[in-house]
Amino acid sequence: MKTSMRLTVWMLLFFTVYANCQSKMVLIKGGEYIPLYGRDSTKVKVKNFYIDVYPVTNQEFVTFVKKNPNWKRSKTIRLFADSSYLSNWKSDTELNEHQKEKSPITNVSWFAAKNYCENQGKRLPTVDEWEYVAMANKTMPDARTLKNYNKFILSWYEKPKTYNQEIGSTFENYWKVYDLHGLVWEWTSDFNSVLITGESRKDVDTDSDLFCGSAAVNATDLMNYAAFMRYAIRGSLKAKYTMKNLGFRCVKDEK
C-alpha cells in the first residue's frame, strides 16, 4: 500500500513538473526597435511582457479541446476554422501515431489560438512583441544585422516537416526563449495589420483581403528576406485559415 502511494505521489509530482515546464514563461524587458515595415527609421516602443518559453504543444491543445468541446474538429464551425483544422489528428481528441505530444500544435486557426490563450489567462502576442523577442540570437537582443543569423532562419524555411520536431529543439535565445525560428510559423494577435494601402496602389480600395503576401512593401531593410517571409505569410492569412506548419504561443502583460 505504501509503495503504491509513493508511486502515485511520484507520478503526480512528475506530471506537475512536466506541466509547469510546458507552460513556463519569461519576462521580456521592453524597449524600442525599428520593425521591418517602419518608415524613416521610426522606432516602435514595446512594453514589458511575459512570453511562453515554448510554442503550445500537441498535448496541451488536446487537453484544451477536451475541456472545451466546442473546439473539437467535428464541432467547430467553419466561420472560425477552415476544413483543415486539426485534420492531422486521428479523432476529435486523439493524435495520430506519427505525431509527438511535445511537438508544437499546428493546423489551428487564429480564433482557436486566441481562445486557447484567453483560456489560460493569457493572449496572443502582437507582431511587434513577437518580432522584438525573435530578433535575438543566443547572446544578442538584436541579431538582425548578422548575415549568419538570417542565413540560419532562411535555411529553416527550406527544411521539410520541422513541425514534427519536439519543442526545445532549437537554441535558447538571449531572452531564454526557444523555437521562435526553426519549428513552426506562429500566429500573432494582429497578424494582418501590416499591409500595403490603397494609396500606395494609387487607388482608393483598402480591402486588405486583396493584398496577400504584400506586407514587405514598406520594409526598412530590403535585404532582410527572412523577415520578408514572415510578413508575407502573415499578410496572406485570414483568421479562419490553418496550416500544417503554423502554430502559436501565448503572452501576458506585466502586472
Give Cα separations from 237 to 55, 74, 189, 243 (angstroms): 19, 23, 12, 10
- If one counts every other C-beta atom within 10 angstroms of the C-beta of residue 151, the result is 11
pLDDT digits (tens, 9 = 90+) for 154-176: 888 788 889 999 999 999 999 99
The residue-averaged pLDDT of 214-239 equals 65
Report which of residues 202 and 194 the model is more confident about: 194
Question: Is residue 137 a part of any domain in this protein?
Answer: yes
Using CA atoms, how far apart are residues 184 and 163, in angstroms rounded to an integer? Answer: 6
Q: Are the beta carbons of 229 and 157 closer than 8 angstroms? A: yes
The number of domains in the chain is 1
Question: Is residue 136 a part of any domain in this protein?
Answer: yes
- Residues of the chain with pLDDT > 90, as a percent, come to 61
Question: Is residue 222 a part of any domain in this protein?
Answer: yes
Q: Are strands 185-186 and 246-247 parallel, antiparallel or unpaired?
A: parallel
- The DSSP code sequence of 3-41 is HHHHHHHHHHHHHHHHHHHHT-EEEE--EEE--TT-STT
Torsion angle (degrees, nearest 10) of CA 47, 48, 50, 54: 70
Q: Are the beta carbons of 140 and 174 closer than 8 angstroms? A: yes
Domain holding 175, by residue range, is: 25-253
Q: What's the pLDDT score for residue 6? A: 54
CATH code of residue 42: 3.90.1580.10
C-alpha cell at 65: 479541446
Give the 3-state secondary structure of residue 231: helix
Question: Is residue 8 a part of any domain in this protein?
Answer: no
Q: What's the pLDDT score for residue 30? A: 96
Using CA atoms, how far apart are residues 175 and 90, in angstroms rounded to an integer? Answer: 36
Report which of residues 194 and 54 the model is more confident about: 54
Report whether pLDDT(228) > 90: no
pLDDT digits (tens, 9 = 90+) for 57-104: 999 999 999 999 999 999 999 999 999 999 999 999 999 999 999 999
Q: What are phi and psi of 100, to 5 degrees?
A: -100, 140
Output the pTM of the full model: 0.80
Place of cell 535565445: 173
Report whether pLDDT(51) > 70: yes
Question: Is residue 14 a part of any domain in this protein?
Answer: no
Report which of residues 41 and 228 the model is more confident about: 228
Question: Is residue 138 a part of any domain in this protein?
Answer: yes
Using CA atoms, how far apart are residues 141 and 134, in angstroms rounded to an integer? Answer: 9
The residue-averaged pLDDT of 1-17 equals 47
pLDDT digits (tens, 9 = 90+) for 100-142: 999 999 999 999 999 999 999 999 999 999 999 999 999 999 9
Question: Is residue 240 a part of any domain in this protein?
Answer: yes
Using CA atoms, how far apart are residues 90 and 155, in angstroms rounded to an integer? Answer: 31
Place of cell 486588405: 208
Q: What's the pLDDT score for residue 209? A: 36
Q: Are the beta carbons of 216 and 195 closer than 8 angstroms? A: no
Q: What's the pLDDT score for residue 194? A: 60
Of how many residues is the chain composed? 255
Q: Name residue 37's amino acid.
A: Y
Question: Is residue 9 a part of any domain in this protein?
Answer: no
